Amino acid sequence: MTGGMPVSEYSTVTVPIRIHEKVMLEVKGHTMDISTVHWLLCLQPVIFGIWFSKEHVNTYAKQHSVYKIIFKDSEKHNKTTADLRLEYFTEIAEGDGILLLLRLSKASVHHIHLIRTRYLFYRHYKKPEQDFQILKSFAAAYSYPRRVRLISFSDNIFPMDLVGDIPDTKRYVFGLRHTNISLPGIMETKKLVVSEVPYHYKDVIYQLGKHHQKRLLDFPVLFDFVESEIFGFPVPDWCNSYKEIRIVKTISLGSHMLLWGEEINEKSLNASMGHLFHIHFLHFLHQKKLGNAYFLV
C-alpha cells in the first residue's frame, strides 16, 4: 500500500528548482492563482491567510459566504489533490492590499483512493485528538509544501512552517502556538528574527523543535551562532539569511496567535543550498505514484 515506505504524518522534502503544485481560489465564479500568496496560520481551527494586492481586493477580498481553495498536483498533471470550503474569519487591511483570513468548514482529499485513505487513518493515524475530518484537513493543507524557517527571540530558537512572507512587500505573517514560551515576550517587545535555513541541517533544526520550550542554555546546541544586528537575537551561523521583524498587530486565531510584522533589517550569511519543506505523507504517496516526488531528506 505504501511501497515499503514507513508511514508518517508528514514527509520532509526539499524542492530542487521550484514548487510544482498550484493552489487556486474560487469565489462566486471568479478564479485566482494563490499559490504564492496563501499560508496556513492556525491548526485548531484550521485558518488560512491569503494576501490580495490592491487590484484584486474588490473581486476577492469581500465577506463572501463561501470560498473554495483547490490544490492541484502540478501544471502538467493538473489533478485535484484536495479541496476546501472556507468562511470569512477576519482581515488585516493595508494601503496596498488585504490579508484575508478564512476558517475551514469542510475538507476533501483525493491523493489516493478513499478506502486506502481510511485504512491508513485507522491503522496509523487514529488517536483521541485526531478524527478522520482532522486528518483530511491537515492532508489538504499540506498538499502544498510548507517551508520551514527558524524563529529567534532572546535566547530561544525554534522552527516553524506556519509562516508567510508577503510578495513585493516587507511584511511577514506568523502563526505561533499560544503555548510557545517565547510568545509573551514577542508580544511585549514586538520583536523577532526569522531565518532561512538549508535542508541539510534538518537534524539540528528538529533538535531545536524538540526543545522549543527550553532556552538555549538549558540543552546542548551543536552549532555556533551570530547575533542579529539590531535586536541581538541568536541566529545559527549556518543559516542562509535572517530578517529582523517588528510586530505591528496580533490576532488570536484559536490554538495559534497571528503575528503581523514588518521587516526592518535583512542580512545574508551563506549561499542557499535548498530549503526544508513539509508535505503530508498522503501527498507524497500521490507524488510517488506519478513519478513526480520531491527529494526526501
Rounded to two decimals, the pTM is: 0.92
Is the pLDDT assigned to residue 118 strictly greater than 90? Answer: no
**Mean pLDDT, residues 96-105 taken together:** 95
- In total, the chain counts a number of residues equal to 297
- If asked whether residues 234 and 189 sit together in one domain, one would say yes
**Mean pLDDT, residues 211-223 taken together:** 64
**Mean pLDDT, residues 99-117 taken together:** 92
- If asked whether residues 127 and 183 sit together in one domain, one would say no
Nearest to 23 by CA among 68, 66, 61, 59: 68
Cell 493595508, residue? 94
On whether residue 284 sits in a domain, the answer given is no
Is the pLDDT assigned to residue 88 strictly greater than 70? Answer: yes
Nearest to 7 by CA among 286, 282, 266: 282
**Mean pLDDT, residues 237-263 taken together:** 98
- If asked whether residues 203 and 175 sit together in one domain, one would say yes
- If asked whether residues 237 and 221 sit together in one domain, one would say yes
Say if residues 50 and 58 touch (Cβ distance below 8 Å).
Answer: no
On whether residue 210 sits in a domain, the answer given is yes
On whether residue 32 sits in a domain, the answer given is yes
pLDDT digits (tens, 9 = 90+) for 18-48: 899 999 999 988 899 999 999 999 999 999 9
Which amino acid is present at 204? V
pLDDT digits (tens, 9 = 90+) for 168-205: 999 999 999 999 999 999 999 999 999 999 999 999 99
CA 223, CA 209: separation in Å to the nearest integer?
Answer: 15
The CA-CA-CA angle for residues 140, 141, 144, to 5°, reads 95
CA 163, CA 148: separation in Å to the nearest integer?
Answer: 8
> What pLDDT shows up at residue 43?
96
- Can you give the CATH number for the domain in which 181 is found? 2.30.110.10
Nearest to 149 by CA among 224, 39, 251: 39
Tally of domains in the chain: 2
Is the pLDDT assigned to residue 95 strictly greater than 70? Answer: yes
> Domain range spanning residue 83?
20-144
pLDDT digits (tens, 9 = 90+) for 63-79: 777 899 999 998 777 89
